Amino acid sequence: MRSVLLARRVFGSRRGRRLFLLALGSVLVALGALEQSALSRSRVLPYQDASLPAASRADDLLARMTVAEKVGQLAQVSVSKLTTDLDLNRVFAQEGVGSILSGGGELPGAQNTPRSWATGINEIQKAALDRSRLQIPILYGADALHGLSPVLGAVIFPHQIGLAATRDPGLVRQTTAVTSRGAKALGIRWVFGPVADVSRDLRWGRYYETFGEDPKLASELVAASVQGLQGNRPDDLVVAATAKHFIGYSQPQDGRDRFPVTLPAETLTNWFVPSFQAAVDAGAATVMTQHGAVNGTPVVASHALSTDLLRGTMGFAGVLISDWGDVSDLYCPGGTPPNPKFSCVATSPEDAVRRAVNAGVDVTMIPYDSAQFTSALKDLVQSGAVSQSRLDGAVRRVLVLKFRLGLFEHPYVDAGKAQAGAVAASDRKLARKAVDESLTLLKNRGHLLPLKKRGGPILVVGPAATSVSRQMGGWTIGWQGIPAGANPPAVTVLQGIREAVGARKVLTANWLSQADVRAKAKKASAIVVAIGEPAYAEWYGDTSTAALAPDQVRLVEAAEASGKPVVLVLVAGRPLMISALVKKANALLMAYLPGTEAGHGVADVLFGRVSPHGKLPVSWPASIKDVPMVKGMRLKDGKRAKPLFAYGAGLSY
């Protein structure tokens, strides 16, 4: 009120009017300045502007970052290292770590439920953002190889070797799209899959993770997986896929995981490159290096492979990540390798970092001691041993990826929607279809199959008939398969058969008792023997024999001695050396590692609801002496050897 009166009085005279205008002018200027400074406080910086292209945003952000902040973006740490506030301060405030992963069986939250995953990842994201000067979100990664496999409750599809038997890229696109829908809903935006290694040696513990031995088939299915995981909008990725493990990983010496391999250039080009090239061409956002050495050089330290071949020849422009612990493993304290799988080329822990980064690794999956990594890399940049441009190139790629994932705009997920995102009603139908299409009928003497639902009782027996863990395989909930006490939804072979023909028609027996098997066999019209391997992952699955366990051999022998028709159902990650048993059996159905819907799928084929049409994606050697064998050729001498079942085998009704 007082100012209005004053204004009127001043405005009354000419001089007063001029004075007033002057005063008004300076008030306006002052107001403008005020507004300006308020604006600059809330102004959206170019890197925060979602309307700009990812590349320009990355350039802008990169220019604002210190060396320490940049180095942190190249570190990936295991979630098991984030348990206290002290950890969070160290990892995020001091080291600026840009990425966290769940290794096999590692949880971000208190429980293994979709909601707890989402809440846990949200909390880690908040801890990171609260401590980040430039508000750079973290990228959370996990292995989700056959469905959202680490998450309890999610539907598990067949492992890649089974999907390869379907020869159906459309199906693979669908299954991987289910995985990425779930992963995104939980905040897992980096999925370490697909496995682009082609199978070469069935003694290797990771054989089942591959799409088989044919580079062309593997290429098609790898491309389909990348598309399914990432979606079809390159600037708005659902998740980032990872083609792994680059390169030559699947043919380690003696089939032993992580052991070195010697490969002629031609073999590398013709057999190993195509499936990775397919991933690159399909736009795979990331690639992971393999654990071992090719021709004497660890891939993680090989500029020729990780940069010249992958980036130069193959045109990969995304993020290259090292595998679990491989960078620090380049240095062996004391200089002596603990065993042949280590090629300790580095002279110190810092030298290990230098070799990997200069070879072309962008992100290092450390996974534990991030302080060692980040301080080593900072020193290396300061001394010039790693160039500023090498550092910037790697960090820029990481930032571009984070922008393409929309993480700056949406760092958090809605935990209330995690459950619905992780499991949809239609997933099991798709899983059943995948099992139906993958099952590979290799023998069917006298057209024993399909079995008649109205025939006499069927004896269903064997460890794989009732074991959820066996049908899921490794990398399911836990690293080595389902841990004790976890009960994921699943239909076993026994349950599936009971459902198909009615429980009254199904007999069971204690498979470890041959007397019991013989007694029940007398009452049965046919015997379904479900045998195979327990769950395993990585080197835990290496074998020198690929033999069926002796107690299971005795079971099959007892069944075959009964004189009743025998159907062998093999639940395994690879062909087993069971020629003699197969000879006497009437039928053999290869089920691979079928996952949640194993029982429905097996029953669908056994009783003819579905005519089998899976085709063997690998060669099935008749004897371990012929291993490794690819397309009927022994790799050791390049000679043809008659396989028990050839690549592509598979009967229908």
DSSP 407-475: TTT-----GGGHHHHH--THHHHHHHHHHHHH-EEEEEGGG-PSPPTTSS-EEEESGGGS-HHHHH-SS
Which residue, 167 or 341, has its beta carbon nearer to ligand BGC? Answer: 341
Identify which range of 51-59, 62-70, 100-108, 613-621 contacts ligand BGC by CB under 6 A: 100-108
Q: How far apart are CA 391 and CA 148, in angstroms?
A: 33
Residue 484, both tokens: 């004790």
Note whether 529 and 589 are within 8 A (CB). no
Least separation in angstroms between residue 206's CB and ligand BGC is 8
Which residue, 103 or 274, has its beta carbon nearer to ligand BGC? Answer: 103
Residue 502, both tokens: 């009615």
Note whether 626 and 643 are within 8 A (CB). yes
Q: How far apart are CA 266 and CA 272, in angstroms?
A: 10
Active site residue 369: no
Question: Which residue pairs, CB below 8 angstroms and at least 24 apart, start in 521-524?
Answer: 521/459, 521/558, 521/559, 521/562, 521/564, 522/562, 523/457, 523/459, 524/456, 524/457, 524/458, 524/459, 524/564
190 forms part of the interface with ligand BGC (CB under 6 A): no
Least separation in angstroms between residue 101's CB and ligand BGC is 6
313-372 residues near ligand BGC, rule: CB under 6 A: 323-324
Q: Report in angstroms the alpha-carbon separations of 345 from 292, 327, 363.
A: 12, 11, 20
Which residue, 361 or 555, has its beta carbon nearer to ligand BGC? Answer: 361
Least separation in angstroms between residue 367's CB and ligand BGC is 8
511 forms part of the interface with ligand BGC (CB under 6 A): no
Residue from 143, 362, 392, 604 touching ligand BGC (CB under 6 A): that is: 143
Contact string (CB under 6 A) for ligand BGC, positions 373-412, x = contact: ----------------------------------------
Which residue, 338 or 393, has its beta carbon nearer to ligand BGC? Answer: 338
Note whether 155 and 489 are within 8 A (CB). yes
Residue from 104, 260, 421, 534 touching ligand BGC (CB under 6 A): that is: 104
Q: Strand, helix or coil at 82?
A: coil
Which residue, 474 or 643, has its beta carbon nearer to ligand BGC? Answer: 474
Residue from 47, 117, 192, 607 touching ligand BGC (CB under 6 A): that is: 192
418-457 residues near ligand BGC, rule: CB under 6 A: none
244 forms part of the interface with ligand BGC (CB under 6 A): yes
Which residue, 474 or 599, has its beta carbon nearer to ligand BGC? Answer: 474
Note whether 468 and 492 are within 8 A (CB). yes
479 forms part of the interface with ligand BGC (CB under 6 A): yes
- Cβ partners under 8 Å of residue 14, min gap 6: none
Least separation in angstroms between residue 415's CB and ligand BGC is 24
Which residue, 104 or 534, has its beta carbon nearer to ligand BGC? Answer: 104
Identify which range of 63-71, 102-110, 151-159, 576-584 contacts ligand BGC by CB under 6 A: 102-110
Q: Strand, helix or coil at 176?
A: helix
Which residue, 440 or 476, has its beta carbon nearer to ligand BGC? Answer: 476
Which residue, 201 or 323, has its beta carbon nearer to ligand BGC? Answer: 323
For residue 320, what are the β-bridge partners?
A: 287
Q: How many CB atoms lie within 10 A of CB 209?
A: 29
Contact string (CB under 6 A) for ligand BGC, positions 8-47, x = contact: ----------------------------------------
Which residue, 403 or 475, has its beta carbon nearer to ligand BGC? Answer: 475
Identify which range of 36-44, 103-111, 158-166, 525-533 contacts ligand BGC by CB under 6 A: 103-111
Identify which range of 33-41, 98-106, 297-305, 643-651 contacts ligand BGC by CB under 6 A: 98-106
Q: How far apart are CA 653 and CA 487, in angstroms?
A: 35
Selecting among 201, 323, 427, 604, the annotated active-site residue is: 323
Identify which range of 104-112, 297-305, 390-398, 526-534 contacts ligand BGC by CB under 6 A: 104-112
Query: Please, what's the largest Cα pairwise distance for the chain?
Result: 123
Q: How far apart are CA 479 and CA 481, in angstroms?
A: 6
Least separation in angstroms between residue 204's CB and ligand BGC is 12
581-620 residues near ligand BGC, rule: CB under 6 A: none
Least separation in angstroms between residue 193's CB and ligand BGC is 8
Which residue, 188 or 585, has its beta carbon nearer to ligand BGC? Answer: 188
Least separation in angstroms between residue 150's CB and ligand BGC is 9
Residue 9, both tokens: 């009085």
Q: Report in angstroms the alpha-carbon separations of 385 from 180, 297, 376.
A: 39, 20, 11
Which residue, 300 or 405, has its beta carbon nearer to ligand BGC? Answer: 300
Least separation in angstroms between residue 135's CB and ligand BGC is 27
Identify which range of 99-107, 266-274, 299-307, 394-402 contacts ligand BGC by CB under 6 A: 99-107
Q: How far apart are CA 99 and CA 120, in angstroms?
A: 14
Least separation in angstroms between residue 106's CB and ligand BGC is 6
Least separation in angstroms between residue 103's CB and ligand BGC is 3
105 forms part of the interface with ligand BGC (CB under 6 A): yes
Q: 354-385 burial, b if ≥16 CB within 10 A, otherwise e?
A: bbbbbbbbbbbbbbeebeebbbbbbebbeeeb
Q: What share of the chain is helix, strand, coil (3-state, %, to 5)?
A: 45, 10, 40
Identify which range of 20-28, 101-109, 385-393, 445-453 contacts ligand BGC by CB under 6 A: 101-109
Least separation in angstroms between residue 201's CB and ligand BGC is 16
For residue 139, what are the β-bridge partners?
A: 99
Q: How many CB atoms lie within 10 A of CB 174?
A: 19
Q: 256-282 burial, b if ≥16 CB within 10 A, otherwise e?
A: bbbbbbebeeebbeebbbbbbbbbbeb
DSSP 323-382: -TTTTGGGS-TTS--SSTT-----SSHHHHHHHHHHHT--BEE--S-HHHHHHHHHHHHH
Residue from 72, 96, 98, 103 touching ligand BGC (CB under 6 A): that is: 103
159 forms part of the interface with ligand BGC (CB under 6 A): no
Q: 468-503 burial, b if ≥16 CB within 10 A, otherwise e?
A: bbbbbbbbbbbbbbbeeeeebebbbbbbbbbebbee
Of 160, 162, 204, 196, nearest in space to 629 by CA: 204
Q: How many residues does the chain have?
A: 653
Least separation in angstroms between residue 40's CB and ligand BGC is 43
Identify which range of 97-105, 213-221, 334-342, 510-518 contacts ligand BGC by CB under 6 A: 97-105
How many residues interact with ligand BGC (rule CB under 6 A)? 10
**CB-closest chain residue to ligand BGC:** 103
Q: Residue numbers of the site for ligand BGC (CB under 6 A)?
A: 103-106, 143, 192, 244, 323-324, 479
* Residues classed as catalytic: 323
